[in-house]
């Protein structure tokens, strides 16, 4: 049986990055990057610490303007637009370090996600109160549904500050799900998540993609997670796209192994090759309380699902 995605009918990419560059003073964090993201797929971005992965997300999500280059979303150049404009177009992102509102409850954290919802347009409080009430009810129902899905229901009335690191990652995913986004950028969803919760998180991402059609781009150092979720992986090194392809091919690419080894130090602790989680303990990403190495290696099969 032929699949619904034959190469002859390949869809236009939902996101295409063209010759994207970002400088910070004398440092070029991202240099001439070009890649595409197909709608309905899960695309991985890997690369050693400091490769420029988060900087790319920051530009796509509108947190940082590019120094040069284009970011095409649905064919329109959105480079340099502010975060709220990207959000309005359906681009949401989660952070390497969770950005929960620590003094709100878990439920409230989901309910305050800005959305294009009737209750937000305050004039409708006067012109259409019934509609506003219905809107609020829908937001609550959606939040509650998300909490059940994310297995955070039991802690819905806890302050978000009291959640574990892994639960905060789930909450980040939940916040992204509140808006029916068109493109979800996940920055290290697995960092700091315990192995049991990580499997759950993986299954949730997979479900959101397969059953609900969400498009994801996932930055991860956990090669197992990337290999099991992503059909295509983009490898960044020193700000540039080194290669891309299925994980099975990428993991055998000597240039990829070199990129990981090249950033290492002699004690073998630093920047492990693609047989570890790939994070240096002294990662320059300020404030990232994320991952500790867990020794997970590249799995033998690079196939996300085998069909």
Find the shortest distance in angstroms from Cβ 29 to ligand ATP: 3
| Minimum CB–partner distance for residue 185 and ligand ATP (Å) | 12
Q: Does 54 engage in binding with Mg ion (CB under 5 A)? A: yes
Helices (H), the chain: 53-60, 83-88, 106-111, 124-127, 129-149, 165-177, 195-210, 223-229, 247-250, 254-262
Beta pairing class for 68-73 and 13-24: antiparallel
Q: Which stretch binds ligand ATP (CB under 6 A): 78-86, 139-147, 158-166, 279-287?
A: 279-287
Q: Is 52 in the site for ligand ATP (CB under 6 A)?
A: yes
Minimum CB–partner distance for residue 187 and ligand ATP (Å): 7
Of 69-128, which residues contact ligand ATP (CB under 6 A)? 96
Copy the structure tokens of residue 47. 């690369």
Residues 6+ apart with CB under 8 A from 129: none
| x-marked contacts with ligand ATP along 55-74 as a string, rule CB under 6 A | x-------------------
Q: Which is nearer to ligand ATP, 51 or 242 (CB)?
A: 51
| Length of the chain (residues) | 307
* Cα–Cα distance measured from residue 21 to residue 264, given in angstroms and rounded to the nearest whole number: 25
Q: What angle do CA 75, 69, 60 make, to 5 degrees?
A: 65
Q: Of 49 and 228, which CB lies nearer to ligand ATP in the complex structure?
A: 49
The residues of the shown chain that bind Mg ion, judged by CB under 5 A, are 53-54, 96
The residues of the shown chain that bind ligand ATP, judged by CB under 6 A, are 24, 27, 29, 47, 49-55, 96, 283-285
């Amino acid at each position: 049986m032929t699949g619904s995605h034959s190469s002859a009918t390949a869809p236009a990419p939902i996101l295409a990055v063209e010759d994207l560059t970002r400088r910070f003073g004398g440092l070029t964090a991202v240099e001439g990057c070009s890649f595409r993201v197909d709608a309905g797929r899960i695309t991985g971005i890997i690369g050693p610490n400091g490769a420029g992965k988060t900087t790319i997300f920051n530009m796509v999500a509108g947190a940082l303007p590019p120094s040069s280059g284009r970011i095409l979303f649905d064919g329109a150049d959105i480079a340099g637009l502010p975060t709220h404009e990207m959000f309005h177009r359906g681009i949401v992102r989660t952070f390497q370090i969770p950005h929960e509102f620590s003094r709100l409850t878990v439920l409230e954290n989901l309910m305050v996600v800005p959305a294009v919802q009737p209750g937000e347009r305050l004039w409708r409080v006067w012109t259409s109160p019934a509609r506003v009430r219905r809107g609020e009810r829908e937001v609550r129902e959606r939040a509650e549904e998300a909490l059940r899905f994310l297995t955070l229901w039991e802690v819905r009335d806890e302050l978000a500050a009291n959640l574990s690191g892994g639960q905060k990652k789930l909450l980040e995913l939940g916040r992204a799900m509140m808006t029916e986004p068109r493109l979800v950028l996940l920055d290290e969803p697995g960092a700091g998540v315990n192995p049991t919760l990580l499997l759950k998180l993986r299954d949730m991402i997979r479900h959101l993609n397969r059953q609900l059609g969400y498009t994801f781009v996932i930055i991860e150092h956990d090669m197992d997670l990337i290999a099991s979720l992503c059909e295509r992986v983009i490898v960044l090194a020193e700000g540039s796209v080194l290669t891309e392809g299925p994980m099975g091919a990428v993991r055998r690419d000597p240039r990829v192994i070199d990129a990981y080894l090249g950033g290492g130090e002699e004690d073998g602790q630093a920047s492990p090759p693609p047989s570890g989680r790939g994070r240096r303990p002294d990662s320059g990403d300020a404030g990232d309380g994320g991952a500790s190495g867990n020794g997970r290696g590249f799995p033998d099969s690079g196939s996300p699902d085998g069909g």
